[in-house]
A and B are shown apart, each in its own frame.
Chain A
Amino acid sequence: MIPVAHAAPGTTAVPAIEIRALCKNFGENEVLKGIDFHVDQGEVVCVIGPSGSGKSTLLRCVNRLEEPTSGTVMVEGIDITDRETDLDDVRTRIGMVFQQFNLFPHLSVLKNLTLAQQRAKKRGRAEAVEVARRNLAKVGLSEKADAFPAQLSGGQQQRVAIARALSMDPDMMLFDEPTSALDPELVGDVLEVMKQLAREGMTMMVVTHEMGFAREVGDRVVFMDGGVVVEQGRPDDVLGDPQHERTKLFLSKVL
């Protein structure tokens, strides 16, 4: 375990996420071709791009669910590709929300939220339950504490998944296409929870196809294609006045 230098709130000296020259190959297939990328503390960055562009892989490299082939990934100044880094400790500070929710189907909603608190954060049961109930209330699902995931709609499951990640009191949240597996009428509730998080100043990296969300909530939009960052900037600039042909082509298809 190495000592962790926590940046004081408000300082932007240490970026929440800083990625340099990141490459990722799956066998012969080069998915990321030298990505430079950062997310400042308190910033909401939306990553967009066609499927297969490498945006989900980039996100999954941040908490090392994917092992980078080369390059560095720094989270709050800690090199997570360093073998000496306590990865589990860093991961408790990075909340992650998956496209397929990945709730634990054999556990009640409340247990889904308390399990990692007790096992990874070593919180007592009473404290874990209190934190869990607070976060369930936050996503508007207090009454579902004793339900099982299979009894919830997709939108409710995803909100539980967000509450589960928040229960670890993370410094930042990663969203991997959080609304792509949802029926259209359920997307709104999930986006509303995410907007509230953004308003509270949560650092967020969001891989998404929701251009409306990116425009409204994002501080910055990053467009990826073919394993590289093609362009990035303020949402209105990238989405409203794209500079690159590939960006224009993509936006013409999705908007």
Chain B
Amino acid sequence: MKRSTRRRLTQGVLYAIFAAVILFVLLSADWGRIQPYFFNVDVARAAFPEILTIAAKNTIVYTAIAFVGGMLFGLLLALMKLSPVLPYRWLATGYIELFRGLPALLVIFGFAFAVPIAFQWQAPGGSVGAGLIGLIVVSAAYIAETIRAGIEAVPKGQVEAARSLGMGSTWTLVTVVLPQAFRIITPPLTNELVILIKDTSLLFIAGMAIGDRELTTFARDSLTNSANATPLVVAALLYLVITLPLTQLVAKLERHNKRGR
């Protein structure tokens, strides 16, 4: 048998297996029973427009706040971890190990309830605001490690070139090291962002007013009210509507940045 014929044959078999598996799953599902509870058009329609104007909007807003906060705080932690001052390194290492080791849900709960009681402190934005601080605190720990890796991946010669031109350490960091570091870590940072979009669903533990609800909390409330799971499916689709264009955008950005490497 010719080599090309054999390759075509193998590929054909692989396609056939793929199609068979899909077909099997679709046929073996009980569509008659699942349809009214999970794909109910009337229930789906009832979720609109609030699922967009409140829930999806809040998911995006919470993600943006947590990501920007996590980036700023994470950058600070990364710089502390690379600092020549030993106590800073200890502090950053301790922080990162602590908050990477705890479930985000517990940290959010702690910031929403334990911290306000302990310090007589009222978070800006109420209980959701306090929960968001918890989310920032957790995401900063992950982002810090990503940024540190990015900074360390910038070749040493880059710093030497900048310093030999008489640029101070701060300008070297801001104009030479960080721009290259962020290019290197664009893929893992995208990952952090996508994880964060989904982790905003943990904010419910902080307690939410009607207008504060994000996608998952909104869908769960609808589920309870209508005794129907369709809102969960709608929420799931909306998560994809948010994440898929985002990852595409970053992939495009990455290709654009390649020219400078």
Contacts and interface: CB of A to CB of B under 8 A. Distances in A.
A37 interface: no
Contacts of B166: 88-92, 116, 120-121, 168
Best-surrounded residue of A88, A94, A151 (most CB of chain B within 10 A): A88
Interface in B50-103: none
Interface residues of B, number: 21
Contacts, number: 74
A25 interface: no
B126 interface: no
A213 interface: no
Given A102-B160, A104-B158, A148-B260, A120 B168 contact: yes
A96 B159 CA distance: 13
B175 A119 contact: yes
Contacts of B179: 106
Contacts of B259: 148, 150-151
B242 interface: no
Interface in B98-152: none
A100 interface: yes
Nearest to A111: B175
A72 B164 CA distance: 19
Interface of chain B, helix or strand or loop or mixed? helix
Best-surrounded residue of B166, B171, B175, B261 (most CB of chain A within 10 A): B166
A65 B260 contact: no
Contact of B176 (A100, A104, A150, A151): A104
Contacts of A161: 161
B208 to A, nearest CB: 42
Best-surrounded residue of B162, B259, B260 (most CB of chain A within 10 A): B260
B164 A106 contact: no
B142 to A, nearest CB: 25
24 contacts: A63-B164, A88-B163, A88-B166, A91-B164, A91-B166, A96-B165, A98-B161, A102-B160, A102-B161, A104-B161, A106-B260, A115-B162, A116-B162, A116-B165, A119-B168, A119-B175, A120-B167, A120-B171, A121-B166, A150-B260, A161-B161, A165-B165, A168-B165, A168-B166
Interface of B: 155, 157-158, 160-168, 171, 175-176, 179-180, 183, 259-261
